[in-house]
């Protein structure tokens, strides 16, 4: 019996290939050729989840009360732990019941929030280069992404003054990300103050992605958007336990801030998912209650790696700034290369997987991104391979 042709929806057809899936395909082809790959492409921590978190999961998974559907908002005990962590870390007081929402990782919340507030044709302000989920989430909701280029001359921060007045009037929502992926730039409180004033003037919901706030160097802690007066009136902040505690596969994060924005997000979530496994939330409580005991060790490892890779790249003549935070290194492509051709060159000639900057948006052209999620020894080897491959 003959079937019929299955056709994807227009929104799926319009999608670019998911960036990291394309990189993985390139990597697999190189491995099949027998190449010893050094993977500096995807930001997935190579260090294990700390033991106390794993032990708590084991205990909680055996408890029958955790075998049923969780609440959509998340365990109150987990949200209380988030609020306590926020108070210690940022000095910000949150109501756990109404100003904290548990997420299946911050990616899920970022992808879903436009569905609550964006109607077809509404503009969504998107940083470029930036996390690919920002424009995809906006488009899935029928919104129209309007790009805010992150340029070196502006410190890789959005230039709010460059946003046309008619665009600002039509914009419903804005994504901002600090510490930034892929540039590693950190916004200061002065930028956040200007952002709050801009959002209030134009009635724009701000969604600040702070997933990398705890991966910082030289003791310089990035601020929270919510530390600035008025921030809670205009938006929310997303966090993840993925990078902070090496829990990428556990899928747990949270959003905090404006009650109405969180209420809209939970309405979407209640229709599309059934919450986070409670045992994972209980393990998350242990993580959040650990203060700096767990995260300080991780930061030390990443800083040691940063201080090997970046000077090595500079010795090769590559243009790269020392990251203040996150575990990404943003590198200008040498003369004569595009983002894609330099990525291909490093893979073919040196067996090194990197990410082309244009995969994060058009404004990323002329750059590649490397990660610090591999051993110091392999980073030393990567520099030597690039030296031998030539630029």
pLDDT mean values, one per 10 residues, the chain (391 residues): 86 78 77 90 90 97 96 96 97 98 97 98 97 96 97 96 97 98 97 98 98 96 98 98 95 98 97 96 97 88 97 97 97 95 92 94 96 97 95 80
Contact between 343 and 356 (Cβ < 8 Å): yes
- Do 18 and 82 belong to one domain? no
Domain tally for the chain? Answer: 2
C-alpha 242: how far from its chain's center?
10
Domain contains 230:
yes
Phi, psi angles (nearest 5°) of residue 153: -65, -20
If asked whether residues 198 and 91 sit together in one domain, one would say yes
281 and 309 in a single domain? The answer is no
Residue 128 domain boundaries? 52-288
Domain boundary among 255, 288, 321: 288
Which region, left, alpha or beta, applies to residue 251 given φ > 0 means left and ψ of -120 to 50 means alpha?
Answer: left
Specify whether 365 is located in the same domain as 238. no
Same domain as 361, residue 327: yes
- Residue 104, C-beta contacts closer than 8 angstroms, at least 6 positions apart: 251, 252, 253, 273, 275, 276
Do 353 and 279 reside in the same domain of the chain?
no
Give the bridge partners for 369, in sequence order: 330, 355
Question: Beta strand pairing status for 100-103 and 253-257?
Answer: antiparallel
Domain stop point among 288, 315, 338:
288
pTM for the structure as a whole: 0.95
Q: List the beta bridge partners of residue 21.
A: none
Residue 94 placed within a domain? yes
Q: Is residue 255 part of a domain?
A: yes
Whether 150 and 211 share a structural domain = yes
Q: Are residues 352 and 308 in the same domain?
A: yes
- Same structural domain, 250 and 136: yes
CATH number at residue 92: 3.40.640.10
Give the C-alpha separation, 226 to 240, whole Å. Answer: 16
* CA 343 and chain centroid, separation: 21
For residue 5, being part of any structural domain is answered with no
- Regarding whether 243 and 156 lie in a shared domain, the answer is yes
- Burial-class residue 349 by CB neighbours within 10 Å (0-12, 13-18, 19+): middle
Residue keyed to tokens 């044709």: 121
Residues 226, 321 within the same domain:
no
Assess if residue 8 is contained within a domain. Answer: no
First to last CA, the chain: 57
**Domain annotation covers residue 3:** no
The 8-class DSSP code of residue 360 comes to: G
Closest C-alpha to 228, from 70, 92, 73: 92
Q: Residue 19: what pLDDT?
A: 65
- Say whether both 284 and 299 belong to one domain: no
- CA angle 155–156–162, rounded 5-degree value: 90
End residue of a domain, out of 271, 288, 305: 288
Q: What is the pLDDT of residue 15?
A: 82
CATH number at residue 368: 3.90.1150.10
């Amino acid at each position: 019996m003959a079937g019929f042709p299955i056709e994807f929806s227009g929104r799926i057809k319009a999608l670019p290939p998911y960036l990291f899936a394309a990189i993985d395909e390139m990597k697999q082809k190189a491995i099949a050729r027998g190449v010893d790959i050094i993977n500096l492409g995807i930001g997935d921590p190579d260090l294990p989840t700390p033991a106390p978190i794993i032990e708590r999961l084991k205990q909680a998974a055996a408890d029958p009360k955790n075998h049923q559907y969780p609440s959509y908002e998340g365990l109150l005990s987990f949200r209380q732990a988030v609020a306590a962590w926020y108070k210690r870390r940022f000095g910000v007081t949150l109501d756990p019941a109404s100003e904290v929402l548990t997420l299946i990782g911050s990616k899920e919340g970022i992808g879903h929030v436009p569905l609550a507030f964006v109607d077809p044709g509404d503009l969504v302000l998107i940083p470029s280069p930036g996390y690919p989920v920002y424009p995809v989430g906006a488009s899935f909701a029928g919104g129209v992404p309007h790009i805010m280029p992150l340029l070196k001359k502006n410190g890789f921060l959005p230039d709010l003054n460059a946003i046309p007045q008619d665009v600002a009037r039509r914009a419903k929502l804005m994504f901002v990300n600090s510490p930034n992926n892929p540039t590693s730039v950190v916004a200061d409180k002065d930028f956040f103050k200007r952002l709050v004033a801009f959002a209030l003037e134009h009635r724009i919901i701000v969604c600040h992605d702070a997933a990398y706030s705890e991966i910082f160097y030289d003791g310089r802690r990035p601020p929270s958007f919510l530390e600035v007066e008025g921030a809670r009136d205009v938006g929310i902040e997303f966090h993840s336990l993925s990078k902070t505690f090496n829990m990428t596969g556990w899928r747990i994060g949270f959003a905090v801030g404006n009650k109405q924005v969180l209420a809209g997000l939970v309405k979407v979530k209640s229709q599309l998912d059934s919450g986070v496994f409670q045992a994972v939330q209980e393990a998350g409580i242990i993580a959040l209650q650990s203060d700096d005991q767990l995260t300080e060790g991780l930061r030390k490892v990443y800083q040691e790696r940063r201080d090997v890779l970046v000077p090595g790249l500079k010795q090769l003549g590559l243009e790269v700034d020392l990251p203040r935070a996150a575990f990404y290194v943003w590198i200008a492509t040498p003369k004569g290369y595009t983002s894609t051709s330099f990525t291909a060159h490093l893979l073919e000639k040196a067996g090194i997987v990197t990410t082309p900057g244009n995969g994060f948006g058009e404004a990323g052209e002329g750059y590649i991104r490397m990660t610090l999620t591999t051993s110091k020894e392999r980073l030393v080897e990567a520099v030597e391979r690039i030296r031998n491959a030539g630029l």
